[in-house]
């Protein structure tokens, strides 16, 4: 039996000419060609659109059977099929894919197994799935989708077009903005890790704040965002969090910052706008990172960063005082190497040495 592509089975598609106009591309090819789906270059057929944004996929370009390929002007010279030339091929492909493969919205209303408190305010266009629990005084705005098994506790607010995919927990007084997506297993607004040692025992510090999330934020599966101890933990507009991330209490993450899986951010840290944190990066508590900083994977950020740029650094664990001494010396290595080169030239003026020695 031939497999059926569920999208192309009902999608009327769009012509390349229409795509070019809608997404601001230069079309090199027949504007009347119609496409109905997106596909990888090596799997595409004449009804599909592919893309090239990474040079390692160029090897598939010469043999692709796609109806068109989204790429940049330099790469288009090597394309044997129709080309949609874009300044940012990857972003353009994402928009084309979203248009050709729209997600079917959930039907408005609540499932019979859902438990909704009488004081909750739920817009008639919202969808509440099976086995959901909606607490007292919760406000759910237009076209919100709350997937199976999700829990929204008292006084929380979900903005227009926001979607909790499944098994999401939203804590008390959490405010989530418009068009946000929270993936399965995420917990937003659990208590922060606040403990004070006294007389040999831990005293739990009450977590009295909550979480405020802006518009167009996406939070990955099993990621946790803790409520503030005093005041709120804040994710500004457009933040992207991958799966398995920990955001501690009273952290503030600036607009359009993105974090890859297993990043951990300790309490009361402020991260600027348009930052990127690689997988397993760790950020210490109560520091500040300015806008436009990139932190490499596995890096440990132990102090504030006030200059935009790309930062790397991971090192073995050792006794703290020795680590600090070594860290200072490590930072001086480049100067030391230059001093050694100058000394060598002075002592051996006729001997040539490479700049990398």
Residues 114 and 210: their CA atoms lie apart, in Å, by 25
Residues 245 and 255: their CA atoms lie apart, in Å, by 17
Q: Which DSSP letter does residue 305 get?
A: B
Question: Where would I find the H helices in the chain?
Answer: 16-23, 73-76, 89-100, 320-331, 333-347
Residues 297 and 261: their CA atoms lie apart, in Å, by 10
Reading the block at residue 310, the tokens are 């790309």
Backbone dihedral angles phi then psi of residue 197, each to the nearest 5 degrees: -85, 130
DSSP, collapsed to helix, strand or coil, labels residue 38 as strand
Residues 198 and 61: their CA atoms lie apart, in Å, by 66
167, 178, 267, 278: which is closest to 223 by C-alpha?
Answer: 167
Indicate which residue of 111, 131, 141, 249 is catalytic. 249
Residues 69 and 82: their CA atoms lie apart, in Å, by 6
Please indicate whether residue 249 is annotated as part of the active site: yes
Backbone dihedral angles phi then psi of residue 158, each to the nearest 5 degrees: -115, 120
Catalytic residue numbers read 249
């Amino acid at each position: 039996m031939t497999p059926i592509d569920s999208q192309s089975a009902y999608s009327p598609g769009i012509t390349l000419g229409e795509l070019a106009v809608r997404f601001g591309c230069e079309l090199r090819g027949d504007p009347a060609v119609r496409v109905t789906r997106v596909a990888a270059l090596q799997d595409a057929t004449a009804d599909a659109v592919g893309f090239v944004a990474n040079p390692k996929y160029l090897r598939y370009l010469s043999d692709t059977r796609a109806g068109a390929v989204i790429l940049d002007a330099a790469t288009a010279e090597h394309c044997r099929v129709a080309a949609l030339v874009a300044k940012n091929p990857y972003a353009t492909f994402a928009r084309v894919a979203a248009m050709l493969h729209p997600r079917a919205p959930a039907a408005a209303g609540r499932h019979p197994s859902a438990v909704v408190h009488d004081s909750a305010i739920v817009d008639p266009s919202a969808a509440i799935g099976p086995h959901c629990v909606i607490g007292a005084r919760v406000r759910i705005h237009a076209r919100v989708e709350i997937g199976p098994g999700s829990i929204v506790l008292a006084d929380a607010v979900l903005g227009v077009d926001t979607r909790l995919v499944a098994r999401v927990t939203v804590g008390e007084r959490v405010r989530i903005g418009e068009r946000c997506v929270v993936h399965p297993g995420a917990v937003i607004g659990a208590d922060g890790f606040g403990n004070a040692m006294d007389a040999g025992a831990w005293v739990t510090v009450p977590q009295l704040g909550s979480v405020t999330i802006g518009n167009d934020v996406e939070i990955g599966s099993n990621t946790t965002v803790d409520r503030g101890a005093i005041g709120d933990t804040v994710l500004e507009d457009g933040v992207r969090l991958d799966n398995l991330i920990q955001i501690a209490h009273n952290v503030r993450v600036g607009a359009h910052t993105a974090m890859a899986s297993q990043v951990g951010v300790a309490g009361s840290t402020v991260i600027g706008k348009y930052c990127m944190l690689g997988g397993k990066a760790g950020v210490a508590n109560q520091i500040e990172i300015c806008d436009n900083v990139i932190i490499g994977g596995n890096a440990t950020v132990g102090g504030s960063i006030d200059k935009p740029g790309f930062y790397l650094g991971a090192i073995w664990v050792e006794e703290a005082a020795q680590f600090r001494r070594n860290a200072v010396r490590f930072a001086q290595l480049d100067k030391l190497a230059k001093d050694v080169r100058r000394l060598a030239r002075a002592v051996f003026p006729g001997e040539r040495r490479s700049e990398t020695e």
